Chain A
């Protein structure tokens, strides 16, 4: 059973072909990351899946339903999904707990309000007005409102923008816990380390097409890419690109009779692979 099935999805705005034939299958229970530069067609694709936009062509099934269905079946469907949008704010005149409690009333089997507040780390702010929250705290409230309905499928659009490193780690733990509970998660992000830390599979999208789809460690032949060994020899920094970094290090160890000065062994990061794919020269 797949959570999301997309076949031949197309969408244009006038002369702009935002999405030019996307096929995508997201399995139930996985965390899937969609990567791509601004204007790649990422947001359009996700908003079609969320039922916010119409499509020009293609078959789309989200939890077995067409997201564009109207009427009472749309309510049943929305009851099973959670959405964390990119930019949302409120007038801020309600407290955190009032807002989350209110939203919990929209769903047939919501999570416990206090547990949700605790899981996004807003316990101390529960009785504060939203207007007094920092940017990162507001973002965590957005996430809380996305998961309060106990969704089977959660859309997360740039969820950790504005988080400090500590908050981001805490957020990753929360997302892994949601997956542990069986939630399917579709994540879009600008942070490659986030995709690497969380996603079971990633797709890179650019100019309305999917360029690659794989696990983060295998994307773009990353796992089989040559390794780069660098070290210092006197005043000079030397490097060697190789398929066999272990033998290079062994040879160096013999040469230096023990510790190799400033030794590093690296393979291309997900970011290197990603930037190469979307065609940006990267040093």
Chain B
């Protein structure tokens, strides 16, 4: 019930924000709607009673995919010739930055929460970030609730869009080409959506989910890259309905050793088109993906609980699916804390055609030991993968699957998403913040009842008694008051509320 209320509010907010910015333009107004909120197609079938309620619940949990929370109402517009970063800098947390078609040569970094950078597409023309092969990354974000939509990103050296620990992100409807090492690379974040992006010409992974949890990667078109979509050292990810073609390797679920987060667990790869991933491998020497044999459809390395279902996997020349471990992978170091095997891989029904027609000699040798002649290979397993299973194995040409059991389940229909509801920002009570700031910063110079660098808190209490604002003002711009003490350095980097909170704490503290 609460959820229903939230969506109602959300729709109202969006309606209010839409179209508001075009007032000063001479052009005819454009109405901007968001597909992630607002009303849904009701369909021709009207259910009654319990069935209607069930449909509503399903829609709320699965169909609506938004994790960044309600759209902000504050909207600013950046026009061709202006700077997106300048707008980000000036924007308070909770701002939509609409970027008009044009070319923008800049690196945009976002270190605050609730910023949405949303391109406006006019008759196919997008806001293009062009790194001219001089700039490193197009977008770097570390804030939470970040959204990037409708952009075009080209000619960067590092990444197209890189996230560092931002949670609740949405990266959608972007065109990213020749943007460096990774096209879209959220790292160390939780709860994110990467959908409807077109990514190509990337020297490592076009879409790379690194050390993240609860991620949904869907409806992307990913091609001409070394790796298509890579899920690495991440948990609870669904990769579905993507078109992954002409990469060296299509879909990857990896544990890379040597990273601080050590596992990949619970990844569903379903309903994707994994077609003709035979591009020559142009990965950088030493990179993990440089070891992928060109012609690999799906590659599972040391990841656990991977489910592969409903994909059309065709025309990948080395193999449709390769399951392996760290010991058998090229270019891989060791990590005593990383478990090297792919445990509990489940291969459900997939359509597999024309795979493995020109495979590598190591695999050919393995096939020979099983009396298979080669010329076609759908699924190969090298190295231990305890607890793994497959259904309808008779349909495929396989190698090394002798100990795979029959799976206990046949589909993933019960699991529609691993996304979480938007997490509300943590409310920090002022007294809690005041205490922590005092202890973390002020206590270096002030103790309760003795002399340190500055005067004792007791003395300050006697001076300011009922005047916390006086302290808050003083610490922003201190003046030398006591000849026997050094002058206090200004604490103006603390915002006024924090200064007041710490002042109140200082007046209240009793030891």
Chains A and B are bound partners = no
